[in-house]
Structure 1
Amino acid sequence: MASSQVPARPWWRRLLPLAVVGAAMVLFYVFDLHEHISLQEIIRRHEKLEALERDRTFMMVFAYLALYVLAVAVSFPGASLLTILGGLLFGPVLATLLTVVAATAGGAIIFLAAKTSLGAMLRARAGRFSQRLAEGFEADAFSYLLFLRLIPLFPFWLINVAPALFNVSLRTFVAATAIGIVPGTFAYALLGSGLKGVIKAQERANPGCADAGTCKVDLGALFSPGLIAAIVLLSLVALVPVFWKRWRTRNAAA
């Protein structure tokens, strides 16, 4: 009788998604794209970028989406600067929408790469940290992942990988990510939309500072305590279903 068991995929096919991400990461840094994503570069080139956005809106939208997906897929740590640039070019609402779509897509690429390539090996070597995450995802994967997205306690790339190690579905990953990053994304996009006024004020005080790269802009000072408090509150609300489920489980076992 012929066996119905599906043959295991060759090792090279399991590693292919990871190899593609690795190649994209190499190209990202080989072509020095990371050097063009900085606050000073945004300030220096903001007039040219705004002119391009006015004249070629669809091209700029596509370029922004593509660059953001790539930045997230290669785990570039300065992706928040792209969100600020999006707010400057497209306004807070459209920038938030575009960023959520691109960041979720980029995160899904890493999630799928980890899930299909090295998920089992990484899970086995993660130790106690792995066990803590496993408990959270098993209790309520959506709410736990939503909490991790709302409160950036861990790097964005790590939360792209971690759910893949604990059998979280792609649907849950995409939904929790898309919803969870909205408050933080909107905050950065709102900051970006107000950056033009800050640059103008700097130019009045120090003419030519934008082109020279000497404008001094403190992004941290632009975040209001109320906005930060609102994000923290949303994160705590996201954990309510997790604690409720654990409480019911303990009471049922008692």
Structure 2
Amino acid sequence: MDREREKPGYLRHLPLIVILTVAAIGAFLLRDTISFDTLRDNREALLAFRDENFFGLAAIFITVYVLIVAFSLPGAAVASVTGGFLFGLVAGTAFNVIAATIGASLIFIAARAGLGEVLMAKMEASDGKLKKLQQGLQENEISVLFLLRLVPAVPFFVANLLPALVGVRFFNFLWTTAVGIIPGAIVFTWIGVGVGEVFDRGGMPDLSLLWSPQVLGPILGLAALAALPIVIRTLRGKKEI
């Protein structure tokens, strides 16, 4: 009987274990595969295939991007730039956002099914700091989720995994992810739109543009707006005390 009880618990953790295992293996085996060098060397073939079968290539691109995000494989930035290179700003941004959102959701579901349920149960049963942390997150859930997406210092994998472990509602995670990654997706896709000319000059895309004041400033401004409700609630709480 004890073995039968333990088995379902182990199986709940299996999806997250698989994701972490594939991520570790991919970090060693694929770090040089999905690169700007690969894009440059295969760009003519990719463009020819796109002209012959736009939707087929779009489906392949989205599938590959979903796998990159879902398994936290190296090459997400290259994939985003490739989206702009192949499909242009509007379609490329849309495909990047769709793929990244689906991939992030898969990580969320895998983490929630196993470790997330355990941590949520412990937070529910606790009476101390963990309980207060959970209540604070629930009160500011939307703002916190947007901050995780908009603050550049937060790794994408962390922003996918952490909400699943602290009891965030999946629907809120889903739509805030889709909306919150749009500013960054536009920047990456925009770089991709002009990457052909960069290759023609013998250069490589310069992702340091992401940290320029013209780009970073507006994104941090959006992050400040997302944090505003948290600040207001905190100040109100202090006044009531």
TM value normalised by structure 1: 0.79
Taking the aligned partners of 1:97 and 1:218, their CA distance within structure 2 comes to 22
Pick from 81, 90, 102: which aligns with 2:87? 90
Summarize the alignment of residues 10-89 of structure 1 with structure 2, pairs less than 5 Å apart.
10-22=8-20, 25=23, 32-89=29-86
Question: Which amino acid in the other structure matches residue 196 of structure 1?
Answer: G
Taking the aligned partners of 1:201 and 1:10, their CA distance within structure 2 comes to 57
Q: Paired residue for 1:192?
A: 192
* Gap runs ≥5 in structure 2: 123-129
Summarize the alignment of residues 1-254 of structure 1 with structure 2, pairs less than 5 Å apart.
10-22=8-20, 25=23, 32-119=29-116, 134=134, 137-202=137-202, 215-221=203-209, 225-252=213-240, 254=241
Deviation at 1:21, TM superposition (A): 2.8
Taking the aligned partners of 2:237 and 2:6, their CA distance within structure 1 comes to 37
Residues 104/192 of structure 1: CA separation in 2 closer, same or farther (3 Å cut): same
Residues 158/139 of structure 1: CA separation in 2 closer, same or farther (3 Å cut): same
* Number of residue pairs the alignment of both structures matches: 231
Deviation at 1:75, TM superposition (A): 0.9
Deviation at 1:176, TM superposition (A): 1.0
Deviation at 1:20, TM superposition (A): 4.4
Indicate if the aligned counterparts of 1:92 and 1:190 stay in contact, CA closer than 8 A: yes
Indicate if the aligned counterparts of 1:143 and 1:176 stay in contact, CA closer than 8 A: no
TM value normalised by structure 2: 0.83
Residues 227/22 of structure 1: CA separation in 2 closer, same or farther (3 Å cut): closer
SS of corresponding position for 1:247: helix
Question: Which amino acid in the other structure matches residue 220 of structure 2?
Answer: V
* Gap runs ≥5 in structure 1: 1-6, 125-129, 203-214
Stretch moving more, 136-145 or 15-24: 15-24
Deviation at 1:175, TM superposition (A): 1.1
Q: Deviations over 1:92-131 (max 9, x none)?
A: 111111111111111111111111111255677xxxxx89
Between the two proteins, what is the percent identity of the paired residues? Answer: 33
Taking the aligned partners of 2:177 and 2:216, their CA distance within structure 1 comes to 19
Indicate if the aligned counterparts of 1:146 and 1:180 stay in contact, CA closer than 8 A: yes
RMSD: 3.0
Indicate if the aligned counterparts of 1:136 and 1:144 stay in contact, CA closer than 8 A: no
SS of corresponding position for 1:118: helix
